[in-house]
Chain A
Amino acid sequence: MRLNVNPNRMELMKLKNRLNVARRGHKLLKDKLDALIQDFVRVVRENANLRRQIEKEVVRAFEAQNKASLMLSEEDKELITVFSRQRLVLEVSTRRITGVRVPHFEVKVEGSPYNYGLVSTPAEIDAAFGSFFQVLTLLVKLAEVEKTIELLAVEIEKTRRRVNALEYVLIPSLEETIKYINLKLDELARSAVVSIMRIKGSLK
């Protein structure tokens, strides 16, 4: 699509400059896109692994819970869970992946997860509590990875739109306009030559 400009040398200069900038920008953005996609693939792979691991752990945790549940009376169950002074502190910081700010979660545990006695409860619940505790940290990690994927995806989309805009809209239209101005200027030059030749002829 041709830009609506006056076809003169001044504009041609300007357009040429813009085209240069656009080409350079395009190349840079394209590099960034590649880097982003590389990171994205890496994080997605990490996510897949994590998910598989969590699935395994969750199944194990629930199995442990079921096993423990067999050994516990309802009173014991209430007794074990009714009061806990364990606190989970979630620290949120940010880091940068290829210029994208992504969150980083850190879980800190205060107090013991075992808030019950050892004499009247079965040992199976220790296993259940232990497994769920592991699952918890993994889940927090998963949340971090998922959010990272989301942010990276948004960034990739944005960058790709820019690259495309440069590649398919701005650069072609600039080229077309430059070509048009060139043609127009050539045309002007030719018509000037012709008119001079005609004047010369009439003088003879």
Chain B
Amino acid sequence: MKLQTIQSALKEDTGFAYLVGRVRALESGILTQKILENILKTEDLEQALRVVAEIPYWGTVFQGTFHSPQSIDETLMGHYWSILEDFDRYRIATPLTRFFILNFDFNFLKLAMKCHLAKKTVEKSYPTTLDTKRVFRFFAGEGREFLPEPFEDAIREAFSAFESHAYNVQVLEFVLDRFYLQEVYRLALKYESQVLKNWLLAYVAFAYLKAVLRARCQGGKPEMVRLMYTPNPLVSQESFVSLLGASPEKVPEMIADLGFSFILPAESFHDDPYYVAEVEKQMDNYLIRFARSFRSQTFGPEPVFGFLWAKGIDVKNLRILLEGKYFGLSQEALRDKIRECYYE
């Protein structure tokens, strides 16, 4: 017994000490509610960028960025991607960064497939670990070409589903989304940290709830929406499909039965994209509140994961604020959209 405690004391994920140290330093660059308010109060993009430049580690990020949504987004995504790549270089952090990189890779894959079908080329370069040329050679059916594990099957299945569903483009994405969420779920099973596992499961469940609520607004069909589904413990296929067909009065009840009543905003449920947008915001807020408990961990993967997620939320918030300033949207409209911060 005693030997075991010593062993566990010795083992406890101190392997993350270096990364946690880095994260602690980098966390001073994480946005807070106060900074967001300050950016909100500015009158135009110019002033907003000046406020951003005063945040630690953001000082030089926006140097040489043009005042256009494209340029702002490029800068933000480049910044986020460089942090992910940097952390990805440490073997111990690879399972953590994989979750974030998967999203980028699947997005790129979707884009590449659509471009392939539209007989276009991917003109701009987007952050991904996949090689554009290889992906296109794979599409062209060159036997020698192969792609990493989930992607090959995903591509094959997506193309065949596309053909069997009367060439509906949404089917492509549904199948790829399924592979993405399946991969996230597998990752969750691999994680040793229980809280991270739970967090990922919540992420997958939220993805499904949001998808089904949006499918309701779009009038999606069950046989198509089902293509998205991968078995997971929080949302069963049965409840997933029945949520699609349920009458609007019953939906809040069904969501409450699944244990997710906290994602519904205060107003009563109705099938409206803006209502679903509000649900998405609640989901993001829940996930970040969940991740806040990771901050207080001294060792282990949690603080690193929490930081990377928080950085993603920061990128989202900054995009909302800076582009909002560019379009000249009102403070209230922007305040409505911004997500909660990692640090209060």
Interface residues of A (CB under 8 A from B): 66-67, 69-71, 73-76, 78-79, 82-85, 111-112, 114-120, 122-127, 130
Contacts and interface: CB of A to CB of B under 8 A. Distances in A.
A114 B170 contact: yes
B145 to A, nearest CB: 22
Given A70-B323, A118-B177, A123-B277, A111 B168 contact: yes
Interface of B: 69-70, 73-74, 76-77, 103, 106-108, 110-111, 114-115, 117-118, 120, 124, 126, 167-170, 173-174, 176-177, 180-181, 207, 210-211, 213-215, 217-218, 220, 228, 272-274, 276-277, 279-280, 316, 319-320, 323-324, 327, 329, 333-334, 337
A123 B77 contact: no
Contacts, number: 122
A126 B329 contact: no
A78 B73 CA distance: 13
A2 B131 CA distance: 92
B115 A82 contact: yes
Given A118-B220, A123-B279, 19 more contacts: A66-B327, A67-B333, A69-B69, A70-B324, A73-B319, A74-B69, A79-B110, A79-B114, A82-B111, A83-B114, A85-B168, A112-B218, A117-B174, A118-B210, A119-B228, A120-B103, A126-B214, A126-B273, A127-B277
27 contacts: A66-B329, A70-B323, A70-B324, A70-B329, A70-B337, A71-B320, A73-B76, A73-B319, A74-B73, A82-B120, A83-B115, A83-B169, A85-B167, A85-B169, A116-B173, A117-B110, A117-B173, A117-B176, A119-B207, A119-B210, A119-B228, A120-B106, A120-B180, A123-B276, A126-B214, A126-B273, A127-B274
Contact of B228 (A67, A71, A116, A118): A118
Contacts of B170: 112, 114-117
A198 to B, nearest CB: 103
Contacts of B319: 70-71, 73
Contact of A79 (B111, B273, B327): B111
A123 B114 contact: no
Contacts of B181: 119
Given A66-B329, A70-B337, A71-B320, A115 B169 contact: yes
A118 B120 contact: no
Contacts of B173: 116-118
Contacts of A122: 277, 280
